[in-house]
Structure 1
């Protein structure tokens, strides 16, 4: 049986419409919570349309700025991103305590403002300002992401957490598609990014981020009903101690290997891979334009993955979360192998005339972008789902640990990205993909066994 993409898109839209507006399908109280999830997703979509697009082109923009406008500029895009995720990881331990005092809405507003500030600094790049903004956004990232996990959980039930995670992830990843579509046309035909192009890009992305800040200001407080997931209220001190204790449990330690892999893969597809494409001169005059196209197809893979496991999640939930993660593993390993063949070994470092094992193909490069995005959606939607399910009453601590481990891995990857050859980076990714997938499957298996044992007792 052949599937028409247009029919699938229409089916997804009809499902969303029915969930929102048909009182016979879902109670009105659940509709309000789904609306909260959608509003959350749109807020992240706008903020990260701006930030993920900037992260994708940051290395390219700063190198062009140094070459053409200010030879004394010493800022490095990879170091900036590494610093963001290093501060992100450290500040994560404070996030549950802060959220226990303020609630998730306030911290997400603060976080969104730090993203806007970071983007605005590219209007007039300064080395000290780049790194200062990187530190500030690191604190905001820890709060906005821990707040997101908490807010998503509070607006879900055990039956809707997988669906809501998928819907949120699909909306979030529209950011990769929309922002990089703009960059694709903005950078068309350019071999260097001039001041005018940079300023137009930064202003547009800043306006988009500002819209996201406005949406966070409108987020309503969660309203609890019977059957909802309710967070255990803790003091800031108890929240911090609880996060430490949770980190030391067997399931969480196993999941940390999965978290770590998602962080390494995040740095690769969000900052390194597209830069490698842009630095590969074998692609000719379209190399810089392909940076935007790569981001578009990463986002497209993320959106389709989020839609499949969110809006259509009930079709897959009967098999559990582990088959979806295994599928993500297969897609990622395929992408790494093709990248190994298709891109020069020194492409992470700067413009290169070196050849790959095969004639570098733009089509294969973009195919890998899609596989990387789709595989990432497989992993992250299921991580959100399992954390919101088994740690429902302490979700702020669970998501803080997730983001801590993920951001440590991302920071480490960005630090070595400027010095380690592509083949070695790909080898690290494959090894960690194997370990992270196995540990997730072990945790999911233990959760299923506990559910069976509980049903047998009943």
Structure 2
């Protein structure tokens, strides 16, 4: 995006201005046919070296890898191991409802008070509490720990996004490169590392929960009842549940990963201050909660991105709760959920890194189109596919292709928010987490009331409307760019 000076706004308040770069700090401009030289304030210099920037990107990514190796893999199993009375799905719905509240109130003042680094560390401890609460998965306990982690999730992700965006801006100044490309590259590396948590966490769950005496056992004896035919209240009679000892072992390992993540970030991540935070720290106020709403109301691009951001939550909730339970758990058994989701994680991680680098040459549009076609095709196929354990390769194909589409959705939406709203990243990313969380809430909320086929139709609907909104954003932004060029002529 162009600066105001390059968009034809005159620092002297006069019209008919033409700019010519002289050096980094001075510009030669033509005002009403008269050449004048004006001083251009230099951009603030980064407070850390280029190598330190790269180190911090790695440390932050590795910390999230450890944390979500535990958290994400445990949430993959909620609808399978905590299915009694719908505890797992209800707890997940409450979690994201708390996240919505957190998005509205907590991130700006918390980041202003603690800074990005310590906001991440403190928020990680809310995840550790959630992991520990799963040792006693009663409805009351799961609701409480879900609220806690929901409140901690918004500042965690907002701080992460603001931190990475700031590093991308600083790195671009060191290299005289494009800020959007640098931000894309950092988000691509982050999500490549982050998505491998699906590999390690699901590998742990599959190995720990595996029953060596039932290698040939599958989930539900009548496979025609699986897939789109799975409805609330159905039970998979032949499913062999893991023993409590196995579950406790798995949960203990996950708690260890959560603690390790907090330690890594606390020790090795540098504490930086966002440039706009240097004007002064903010105190908690109801006015701060309005920043998210104001950003939404004032930004046309933000309004248009809401459907696609909602879809980001809907599609993740579908693969985590519906696909794993209605297709994998029902047909193959709970111990195969992890193996199938490993494929999702591997493809997601590879594509996150690859697409993050390629976008600087091809732009966002081809990748969003790829995600729309991939996810749309899979959802249509799942409507007609009858899962069968004899066709086990198809479970991995669908999982991998979904991971490829998810890689685009996650990396490109994050990068797009950072690029479009670089002057107001906290409010923008709070909006991102808000609307994505609403997508999760909607999906988990109706999960206990409708069948799988209707869930797929809803997912397709969000995808279609979301892509229409994104297309409108591209058209709107291009018109703005053309208008800016015309102003300077």
Give your verdict on TM over 0.5: yes
Distance in 1 between residues matched to 2:293 and 2:348, nearest whole Å: 32
User: In the alignment, is residue 370 of structure 1 matched against residue 413 of structure 2?
Assistant: no
- Pair 1:398–1:408, CA change in 2 (3 A): same
Distance in 1 between residues matched to 2:442 and 2:346, nearest whole Å: 27
Residue number in structure 1 paired with 2:50: 30
Please state how far the C-alpha of 1:196 moved relative to its aligned partner.
Answer: 0.8
In the alignment, which of 336, 350, 358 is matched to residue 290 of structure 1?
336
Residue number in structure 2 paired with 1:187: 209
Distance in 1 between residues matched to 2:278 and 2:58, nearest whole Å: 20
Tell me the alpha carbon deviations over residues 329-385 of structure 1, each in whole angstroms, 9 at most, x when there is no partner.
111112212222235xxxxxxxxxxxx6x8873221221111111101101111111
Q: Helix, strand or coil: the match of 2:333?
A: helix
In the alignment, which of 338, 353, 378 is matched to residue 335 of structure 1?
378
Contact 2:87–2:138, Cα closer than 8 Å, also in 1: no
Residue number in structure 2 paired with 1:162: 184
Distance in 2 between residues matched to 1:359 and 1:289, nearest whole Å: 14
Please state how far the C-alpha of 1:288 moved relative to its aligned partner.
Answer: 2.0
| 159-168 vs 331-340, which moves further | 331-340
Where does the alignment leave 5 or more consecutive residues of structure 1 unmatched?
Answer: 1-26, 67-73, 344-355
Tell me the alpha carbon deviations over residues 61-100 of structure 1, each in whole angstroms, 9 at most, x when there is no partner.
224xx6xxxxxxx561000101000110111011223222
Please state how far the C-alpha of 1:450 moved relative to its aligned partner.
Answer: 3.1
Tell me the alpha carbon deviations over residues 166-202 of structure 1, each in whole angstroms, 9 at most, x when there is no partner.
1111111111111112222223236211111001100
Distance in 1 between residues matched to 2:278 and 2:346, nearest whole Å: 33
Aligned length: 400
Tell me the alpha carbon deviations over residues 30-68 of structure 1, each in whole angstroms, 9 at most, x when there is no partner.
3321221111111111101100000011222224xx6xx
Where does the alignment leave 5 or more consecutive residues of structure 2 unmatched?
Answer: 1-46, 170-178, 215-239
Residue number in structure 1 paired with 2:453: 423
Distance in 1 between residues matched to 2:258 and 2:404, nearest whole Å: 25
Distance in 2 between residues matched to 1:127 and 1:244, nearest whole Å: 33
Distance in 1 between residues matched to 2:323 and 2:100, nearest whole Å: 22
In the alignment, which of 291, 303, 323 is matched to residue 349 of structure 2?
303
Q: Helix, strand or coil: the match of 1:406?
A: helix
Please state how far the C-alpha of 1:319 moved relative to its aligned partner.
Answer: 2.4
Distance in 2 between residues matched to 1:426 and 1:105, nearest whole Å: 39
Please state how far the C-alpha of 1:241 moved relative to its aligned partner.
Answer: 3.2
Q: TM-score, normalised by structure 1?
A: 0.82
Residue number in structure 2 paired with 1:361: 391
Please state how far the C-alpha of 1:410 moved relative to its aligned partner.
Answer: 0.3
Q: TM-score, normalised by structure 2?
A: 0.77
User: In the alignment, is residue 113 of structure 1 matched against residue 125 of structure 2?
Assistant: yes
| 424-433 vs 365-374, which moves further | 365-374
Please state how far the C-alpha of 1:28 moved relative to its aligned partner.
Answer: 8.2
